[in-house]
Amino acid sequence: MSSSDPKTRPKPVTRPPAPVPPSSWAKRTGFKPKFSGETNASDSGQIALPPRSRENENQPDLEAGRARPVPPVVNGEQPVSEKGPAEKDQSVKKRREADGTNKGSSAAAANGHTVNNGAAPQPQQPTRRPSRNEDVVDVLPQNVDDEGFVGRHSHMKYELRDTPGLVPIGLYGFQHYLSMLGSLILIPLVIVPAMGGTYEDTANVVSTVLFVSGVTTLLHSFFGSRLPLIQGSSFVFLAPALAIINSPEFRGLNGNNFKHIMKELQGAIIIASAFQALLGYSGLMSLFLRLINPVVVAPTVAAVGISFYSYGFPQVGNCLEIGAVQILLVIIFSLYLRKISVLGHRIFLIYAVPLGLVITWAAAFLLTEAGAYSYKGCDTNIPSSNIVSEHCRKHVSRMKHCRVDTSHAFKSSPWFRFPYPLQWGTPVFHWKMAIVMCVVSLIASVDSVGSYHASSLLVSSRPPTPGVVSRGIGLEGLSSILAGLWGTGTGSTTLTENVHTIAVTKMGSRRAVELGACVLIVLSLVGKVGGFIASIPEVMVAALLCFMWAMLAALGLSNLRYSEAGSSRNIIIVGLSLFFSLSIPAYFQQYGISPNSNLSVPSYFQPYIVTSHGPFRTKYEGVNYIMNTLLSLHMVIAFIVAVILDNTVPGSRQERGVYVWSESEAARREPAVVKDYELPFRVGRIFRWVKWVGL
């Protein structure tokens, strides 16, 4: 029936290749279908990896739209790479030897599969085409494209536990953080001026954010999910922070508004973070995971990005020739030049944000020095209310947004500054603001769950167990408590953009992320670094945010790849969630505002003053504040609509794309899974009796 050479094997003429059944596609993306014809599934759905047949090497990739090559299988093991032996990394070999050579065979035997451990078959010998009733379980996609979303971990440059050397992981770790520069620094550049803070205050908050991000990333890498995920100020907390900043009670403050509002934010974040830590370490997160699926995560995270449309381009329009160029450069680098490699690195794709910022900043500097934004007799240091000349009043806004020398943060910043807890004063606790932040921390947990699952498929051999997920959420709560004590203005959580960065850089080593976190801590101690970042012109910040928020919305919707995205059920649920996430908050934000009303805040902050005019007007002021604020947040509405519809509308597990996590008992039998997620320094022994926060 077949020759010794599989390439010359005759193809059947009367029977064209059958399309991939939905069940096989679902399994390759991480599902555990339970319907007739697939009765050999293992108990965990992730541990067993039976051998694949070469007959299936040309199966179409439903996500990439092309044939999917599958390398030959030897004793249930797929080769690490198609490269020659001289190109293989020694650390990868050592790690595989430590995990055991017959990992797939032992796992299959442990789950009730019969495995032939005899002599290894020759690669050129064809194997039997598996019948449709046989189980082929593999949670990881088989191909890696330039986007990385359909990538197998063996194609990463460095995997989760690889430690190739100080220099490589140092370079890759710094690259990892540099590519996420926008996510780390842009939030302070928005909220501090909104609180009435000076450029010096902005520089101090930026340094604090860098310090807390480095510390919390180290904690998460050692005692959290142990995945190479960066912790930092998340855009999830930006909208509620702006709502608190624009509360009516803060409008008539005299003196230092920044410190007073910051202490209010700190109190709300600390209480909400304690709630998140309790949610994780109590085991409630394991129960809550049953409600969180891709159809819930996708619109919730996407709503975070698309909710800031009123801030993005309206701010760019204040200096269009600089802001528009900034956006175009980032788009050109990340899309049109993304496949250009320099010394083996896709420089333009990885560093699209920093490169665009540097080039635009240089152009703005040249225009400033050439006198393009100089107007005779006008000074940007004079408050707008004190400007008498109509000529200067007309151009002062343009000068502030276009010139690069209006900020004196870099000159006034010290060379050394150590961020310390309670540097702004003792936090102030108000229950109404704390409840708003508690709901937001719940949504931040939903965002993190999606990031855990996606990143584990990229860098790890198996998804984490529910206990590991709960442990990670609990530690994120503790990390946010630190963020509240230090005063970053927002909570700390897993940055969603991290998944895209891992996919693009092919860097999955947790040691690289840890070393990068140490570098971040050192940089945070240099006050000039924070001052330099604080001097970025506002129009460039808004232009970068346009790209970052668009990226966040797309990353949220990309979670649908784990479900049947073409299902009418899922299309309707996601569509309703996104539409109502925009429409319902618009009703609350516009309620009671007349067209000719003179509001005391800029137009781009008007969506966050809803507490003073919202439709909830009971005799309890605190209830009015909570309801008007929560129902005006886009992500809250998207989450409520999605979680209700996805968990009440009938649909199969395959159609819904229910996240499949590794079973605890099966994971403990796998040495690789234990080494990936076990707590270091024998700390895991303390939590061995607590099943919901461990393997």
Query: Mind listing the pLDDT tens digit for each residue in 482-494?
Result: 999 999 999 999 9
Cα dihedral 246/252/253/255 (nearest 10):
120
The DSSP code for 243 is: H
The DSSP code for 565 is: T
Inter-residue contact 610 to 626 (CB < 8 Å):
no
Q: Total domain count for the chain?
A: 1
- Which residue would you say has higher pLDDT here, 96 or 661? 661
Inter-residue contact 30 to 457 (CB < 8 Å):
yes
Inter-residue contact 522 to 215 (CB < 8 Å):
no
What is the CA angle 63-64-69, rounded to 5? Answer: 110
pLDDT of residue 388: 52
Examine the pLDDT at 340 and tell me if it is beyond 90: no
Examine the pLDDT at 634 and tell me if it is beyond 70: yes
Inter-residue contact 152 to 140 (CB < 8 Å):
yes
Helix, strand or coil for residue 287?
Answer: helix
Examine the pLDDT at 452 and tell me if it is beyond 90: yes
For 367, residues 6+ apart whose C-beta sits below 8 A from its C-beta are 322, 373, 402
| Domain that residue 329 falls in | 166-561
Is 582 within the bounds of a domain? no
Is 539 within the bounds of a domain? yes
Q: How many CB atoms lie within 10 A of CB 521?
A: 18
pLDDT of residue 438: 95
Q: How many CB atoms lie within 10 A of CB 84?
A: 7
pLDDT of residue 149: 38
Examine the pLDDT at 457 and tell me if it is beyond 60: yes
| Strand extents, DSSP E, 386-523 | 492-494
Mean local confidence (pLDDT), 466-483: 93
- Of the listed ranges 405-409, 536-540, 620-624, the one predicted with least confidence: 405-409
Is 159 within the bounds of a domain? no
Examine the pLDDT at 3 and tell me if it is beyond 90: no
> For residue 209, what is the enclosing H or E element?
helix 199-223
Examine the pLDDT at 209 and tell me if it is beyond 90: yes
Examine the pLDDT at 196 and tell me if it is beyond 50: yes
Q: How many CB atoms lie within 10 A of CB 507?
A: 27
pLDDT of residue 156: 72
pLDDT of residue 332: 93
Inter-residue contact 564 to 442 (CB < 8 Å):
no
Mean local confidence (pLDDT), 514-526: 91
Percent over 70 (pLDDT), the chain: 72
Inter-residue contact 302 to 638 (CB < 8 Å):
yes
The DSSP code for 692 is: G
DSSP track, 8-48 = GPPPPSSSPPPPPPHHHHHHHTT----STT-TT--SSSSS-
Is 375 within the bounds of a domain? yes
For 583, residues 6+ apart whose C-beta sits below 8 A from its C-beta are none
pLDDT (tens digit per residue) in 552-561: 999 999 999 9
Distance CA 164, CA 154 (A): 15
pLDDT of residue 609: 87
Please give the mean pLDDT across all residues of the chain. Answer: 77
- Of the listed ranges 243-257, 277-291, 494-508, 607-621, the one predicted with least confidence: 243-257
Q: How many CB atoms lie within 10 A of CB 52?
A: 20
Indicate the pLDDT class of residue 642, thresholds 50, 70 and 90: very high
Distance CA 601, CA 250 (A): 12
pLDDT (tens digit per residue) in 311-332: 888 888 888 888 899 999 999 9
pLDDT of residue 65: 39
Examine the pLDDT at 134 and tell me if it is beyond 50: no
Mean local confidence (pLDDT), 373-392: 63
Examine the pLDDT at 108 and tell me if it is beyond 80: no
pLDDT (tens digit per residue) in 248-263: 888 766 666 889 999 9
- Which residue would you say has higher pLDDT here, 93 or 159? 159
Distance CA 565, CA 574 (A): 10
pLDDT (tens digit per residue) in 44-55: 334 443 444 444
Is 495 within the bounds of a domain? yes
Inter-residue contact 475 to 530 (CB < 8 Å):
no
Indicate the pLDDT class of residue 596, thresholds 50, 70 and 90: low
Is 693 within the bounds of a domain? no
Is 371 within the bounds of a domain? yes
For 478, residues 6+ apart whose C-beta sits below 8 A from its C-beta are 219, 273, 277
Is 410 within the bounds of a domain? yes
- Which residue would you say has higher pLDDT here, 105 or 322? 322
Helix, strand or coil for residue 662?
Answer: coil
- Range with top average pLDDT, 165-174, 336-345, 484-493, 680-689: 484-493
pLDDT of residue 380: 62
Examine the pLDDT at 116 and tell me if it is beyond 80: no
- Which residue would you say has higher pLDDT here, 211 or 381? 211
Distance CA 50, CA 41 (A): 11
> For residue 135, what is the enclosing H or E element?
none
Indicate the pLDDT class of residue 131, thresholds 50, 70 and 90: very low
- Range with top average pLDDT, 86-95, 378-387, 523-532: 523-532
Examine the pLDDT at 1 and tell me if it is beyond 80: no
pLDDT of residue 48: 40
- Which residue would you say has higher pLDDT here, 232 or 89? 232
pLDDT of residue 254: 65
Examine the pLDDT at 302 and tell me if it is beyond 90: yes
Examine the pLDDT at 295 and tell me if it is beyond 90: yes
- Which residue would you say has higher pLDDT here, 306 or 110? 306
Distance CA 110, CA 100 (A): 14
